[in-house]
Amino acid sequence: MFIKTRLLRAGLILWLVGTIALRVAGQHLLPPDHPMAALGLLIGGAAGSAWLVRRLCAGAQLSREDWMAGAVAIVLPTLCLDAFSASFFPAVFPNIAPAAAGFFGGWMLACCAGGLLGATLGRTAGR
């Protein structure tokens, strides 16, 4: 239980750092009229999240059977808190075009899906 609490805390810290980064420089990252950049962010976000969740679960020394619970703990803050960020997008991210709100929500879902996939893929906890 303690390890999953640590992973939940790690997920909350990741969410906070990401939210601050988007508030500071998000206008450069989420241009609403660039479909290739959007595709790159979706794929890169999912792949990066898969890698990060695998590293965090391995670092927490979870048994392979507990990786999915660990992954849920990591992505839970993003799933819960970014629902509010997307709903109140112009207030939370005043520097980003409001037209990017839908993409933002999709990007967060892709990142969470990648994180959950990262917990299910692979053969051993050390990989």
3-state class of 60 per DSSP?
A: coil
How many other CB atoms are found less than 10 A from the CB of residue 72?
19
* pLDDT per residue as tens digits for the range 1-42: 566 899 999 999 999 999 999 999 999 888 667 889 889 999
How far apart CA 77 and CA 74 sit, in angstroms, is 7
Per-chain mean pLDDT for the chain: 91
Q: Quote the pLDDT of residue 86.
A: 95
Segments making up each domain of the chain, as ranges: 2-120
Q: Quote the pLDDT of residue 90.
A: 96
Q: What is the pTM of this model?
A: 0.90
What's the gap between Cα 42 and its chain centre? 11
